[in-house]
Amino acid sequence: MSADRSAFVILGLEPGAEPAAIEAAYKKLIKRFHPDRKGGSAKRAAEINRAYSELRNRPAPELERDRGDELSQAIYERDAAIRASRRAKPRPRSWWPVLLVALAVAALVDRRTVADLTAAVSDRMGRVLDQPDFGRGGGAQATAAADLDAPVDASIIAAAVISAQQLVAAGDRDALAERSRRCHFQMREQPSLERLDRCAAFEDAVAMLQGSDLVRDDGHFRASAVTARQMNAARLLSDDYLAIEARLDQIRGRVWLMLSPTAREAGILLDPQ
């Protein structure tokens, strides 16, 4: 069973369902299984959230882009254009077989010619290896994909969740949005894995704590806007989309666990209420 088909099954839909049906099914199920509701399930809610995120982030035209979010749409179209250009870019022809034949012929003619050709080849290879984008698929900026596999610091996630709890309990929506903006501003100024984890955990916690706001189609913490900000921040560290999604899913899962009723009862996090 493909990943897309599995996601459709989790949401109780037929494969290929329209975006409107996906949205409706997600809203219905997340309200029913939210951990804070009676009869809710943190595990089931996490599955629903991952399935919805997978279907929502599918390339167009499989999933309709959020028409109300110009920033998210612009980022999506830019990334799609980059992927398309990389697929369309012709692979460089290998010149090694031709070079080896030329060297073999030259060896039969003049050993000195072979030495000259070898020196020229070495010089050419040195210039190629010194190019800043060699081995990066044409990208001009070095990536740090390996860093995304580093363990997530539980203390960073816990601090972000507690901060979200306190601001949500205070009911200050402006303070919540300002905290999110400041975190991403710092991430742009000095990108780091710790800042990425902190920003993502805070936004995920706010969305989950707001309950019904989790499925709203407007607001600073709507699903499409949060996803766009997190992906944009993560791409400051890496162009590896699979590594980025895996990291964000891991953070989101930890936040779900910390906000579950079981975690609160065990006193794992402070409950500002």
For residues 258 and 154, the answer to whether their CB atoms sit within 8 Å is no
82-103 residue pLDDT tens: 877 776 655 555 556 666 766 7
The sign of the torsion formed by the CA atoms of 247, 253, 254, 256 equals positive
- In the prediction, which pLDDT does 165 show? 87
Buried b (16+ CB within 10 A) or exposed e, 162-196: bbbbebbeeeebeebeebbeebbeebeeeeebebb
Continuous segment of H or E residues that includes residue 257: helix 241-259
Of 80 and 59, the structure prediction assigns the larger pLDDT to 80
219: phi then psi, degrees, rounded to nearest 5: 100, 160
How many Å is the maximal CA-CA distance in the chain?
88
- Alpha-carbon gap, residue 38 to 167, rounded angstroms: 24
- In the prediction, which pLDDT does 82 show? 84
- In the prediction, which pLDDT does 137 show? 41
Dihedral angle over CA of 81, 86, 88, 94, nearest 10: 170
